[in-house]
């Protein structure tokens, strides 16, 4: 069965000075409409009225607002990103209420928050708001034709594009395309592996293969501290403070780019080399709030597991998450005795011996148990593959 998936393809964009001004107006008006929508919902709740629908807010905050002197400038930009901002607000509230009612999986989410001008800016256009020209330029309604650095070809016709501006002032175009799965892009493999994640080593695979933890944030932390000190000493509202803010954002951007590149390459390698992957369903949110939280954030376990699952699904690989309470570290992989180290104080114990006389490496033993439990779940039909 062919699986159709939606993917994002992002490209660097180089707008001219007038186009940057036009995009600044688009981002600003999108923030305004989003803020007005949140305010309208809060006002309705305070008055005891039903929450306004997206269609009602569309007429009130866009169509009718354009005819008023206070919001006449909304006509300067296309209505497409303004309408998409209302849909984003509706989706944010839906996720919030589904989370309260227990209908949404994962950690609890809060209500939508206001957008900051200094954060990443975005505006989404559907098919009637953009077009790709034969000369390779991207035409955005009421902005113009933008120069795009096509680092790779789009695999299909895009259904939407999101214009992005990073805190460092760079512009990107993120296209959404629907493609078939990637099962035919990778060679078939008979290998399978468990993946034991950790902080000392990022992961241990079958056969004791170790993937070192790159610690990108730790490598950039000294530079970040220096940039933050300079930023804190600048006068608020000054041009020097804005330059210092961009310097801090560049350090964060560099760290994020290195981490993304490394994770993508690692995920592609693991999926191409194994037909089945078994991992622990870690409580990443809980780990990121305890001891060693900075190291957990730096390792980005949640991002890695989500990307690995997505890539495995697209490529037809078996991917299984083992229950987080499965005692992979304590269980002896030879005799099955619960003789291994346990508790947070035992994290320093990397080698241990079972009563049956077998000496174990902590991570290698955990990988064997994870792989064995994953195969058992697949055989019993307890896992989605």
Residues classed as catalytic: 196, 280, 363
Residues 370 and 322: beta-carbon distance below 8 Å: yes
State how far the Cα of 73 lies from the Cα of 263, in Å rounded to an integer: 43
State how far the Cα of 328 lies from the Cα of 71, in Å rounded to an integer: 60
Phi/psi-derived region of residue 89, left when phi > 0, alpha when psi is between -120 and 50, beta in every other case: alpha
State how far the Cα of 20 lies from the Cα of 99, in Å rounded to an integer: 38
Q: Quick one: CA dihedral 265, 249, 177, 103, positive or negative?
A: positive
| Nearest C-alpha neighbor of 317 from the set 202, 184, 203 | 184
Order of strands, edge to edge, in the sheet holding 201-204?
210-212, 201-204, 192-197, 276-280, 318-322
Q: Quick one: CA dihedral 79, 80, 81, 82, positive or negative?
A: positive
Residues 371 and 278: beta-carbon distance below 8 Å: yes
Triad 237, 122, 148: Cα angle to 5°: 110
Q: Quick one: CA dihedral 124, 129, 130, 131, positive or negative?
A: positive
**Beta-strand (E) ranges in 233-316?**
276-280
Residues 29 and 82: beta-carbon distance below 8 Å: yes
Residues 186 and 271: beta-carbon distance below 8 Å: yes
- Tokens 């175009």 belong to 173
State how far the Cα of 362 lies from the Cα of 122, in Å rounded to an integer: 45
Per 3-state DSSP, the chain is made up of helix, strand and coil in percentages (nearest 5) of 45, 20, 35
């Amino acid at each position: 069965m062919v699986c159709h998936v939606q993917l994002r393809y992002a490209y660097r964009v180089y707008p001219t000075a007038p186009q940057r001004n036009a995009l600044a107006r688009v981002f600003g008006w999108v923030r305004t409409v989003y803020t007005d929508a949140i305010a309208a919902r809060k006002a309705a709740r305070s008055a005891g009225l039903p929450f306004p629908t997206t269609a009602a807010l569309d007429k009130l905050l866009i169509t009718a607002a354009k005819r008023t002197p206070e919001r006449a400038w909304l006509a300067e930009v296309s209505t497409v990103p303004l309408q998409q901002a209302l849909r984003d607000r509706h989706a944010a509230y839906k996720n919030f209420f589904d989370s309260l009612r227990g209908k949404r999986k994962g950690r609890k989410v809060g209500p939508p928050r206001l957008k900051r001008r200094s954060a990443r800016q975005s505006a989404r256009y559907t098919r009637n708001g953009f077009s790709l020209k034969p000369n390779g330029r991207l035409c955005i309604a009421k902005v113009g034709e933008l120069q795009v650095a096509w680092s790779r070809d789009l695999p299909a016709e895009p259904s939407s594009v999101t214009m992005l501006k990073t805190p460092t002032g760079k512009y990107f175009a993120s296209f959404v395309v629907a493609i078939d799965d990637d099962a035919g892009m990778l060679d078939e493999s008979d290998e399978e592996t468990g993946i034991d994640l950790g902080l000392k080593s990022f992961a241990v695979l079958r056969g004791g293969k170790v993937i070192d933890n790159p610690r990108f944030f730790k490598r950039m932390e000294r530079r970040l501290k220096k940039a933050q000190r300079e930023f804190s000493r600048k006068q608020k509202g000054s041009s020097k403070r804005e330059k210092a803010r961009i310097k801090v954002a560049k350090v964060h951007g560099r760290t994020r780019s290195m981490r993304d590149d490394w994770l993508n390459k690692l995920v592609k390698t693991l999926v191409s080399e194994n037909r089945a992957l078994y991992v622990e369903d870690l409580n990443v949110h809980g780990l990121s709030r305890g001891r060693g939280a900075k190291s957990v954030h730096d390792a980005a376990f949640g991002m890695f597991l989500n990307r690995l699952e997505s890539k495995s699904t697209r490529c037809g690989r078996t991917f299984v998450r083992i229950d987080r309470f499965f005692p992979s570290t304590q269980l002896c992989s030879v005799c099955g005795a619960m003789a291994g180290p346990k508790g947070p104080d035992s994290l320093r114990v990397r080698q241990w011996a079972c009563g049956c006389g077998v000496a174990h490496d902590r991570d290698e033993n955990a990988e064997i148990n994870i792989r064995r439990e994953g195969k058992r779940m697949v055989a019993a039909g307890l896992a989605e593959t």
